[in-house]
């Protein structure tokens, strides 16, 4: 999103998850961030994998929301939860499936423009992914230099 010109936060960590919408932020904090960004940006967004846990409480504050729902390979995600969060595989599987269900129920309820993305396919075809994202959001189609930058950015080898 950032590479095609959409503001997704400032001073982001290496995983691009916006700390203004992460753990420890109250609904009031998030609403204040939304109000400031609505005032400062025509189109903006944020990345937070568990956003479906709190988005229902913020829907009224969002101007013309779109959803970009990224689905990851189940086995890889469960193994990552075991590694990063010291979970056993059954708990990791349960958490993964519950989050996927929350994501799906959210997009069914909201009925807003939505882009469903396979992370693994986006990594394999980053230029197509960038074009689809630009089309969904009404951003201009990225030029060749931007597409090359996106391809390099999405190349396997680092967490994003």
**What is the rounded distance in angstroms from the CA atom of residue 119 to the CA atom of residue 126?**
10
Q: pTM here?
A: 0.86
Query: What are the pLDDT tens digits along the chain (160 aa)?
Result: 999 999 999 999 988 999 999 889 999 999 999 999 999 999 999 999 889 999 999 999 999 999 999 999 999 889 988 998 888 999 999 999 999 999 999 999 999 999 999 999 998 999 999 999 999 999 999 999 999 999 998 887 766 6
What residue ranges do the domains of the chain occupy?
2-65+114-154
Q: How far apart are CA 51 and CA 106, in angstroms?
A: 10
């Amino acid at each position: 999103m950032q590479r095609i010109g959409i503001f997704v936060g400032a001073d982001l960590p290496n995983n691009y998850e916006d700390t203004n919408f992460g753990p420890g932020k109250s609904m009031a904090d998030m609403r204040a961030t939304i109000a400031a960004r609505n005032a400062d940006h025509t189109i903006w967004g944020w990345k937070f994998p568990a956003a479906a846990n709190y988005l229902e409480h913020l829907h009224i504050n969002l101007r013309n929301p779109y959803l970009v729902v990224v689905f990851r390979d189940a086995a890889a995600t469960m193994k990552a939860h075991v590694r990063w969060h010291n979970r056993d595989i059954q708990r990791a599987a349960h958490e993964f499936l519950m989050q996927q269900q929350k994501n799906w129920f959210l997009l069914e309820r909201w009925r807003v423009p939505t882009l469903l993305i396979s992370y693994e396919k986006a990594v394999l075809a980053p230029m197509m992914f960038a074009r689809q994202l630009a089309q969904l959001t009404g951003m201009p189609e990225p030029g060749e230099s931007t597409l090359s930058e996106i391809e390099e950015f999405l190349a396997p080898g680092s967490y994003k």
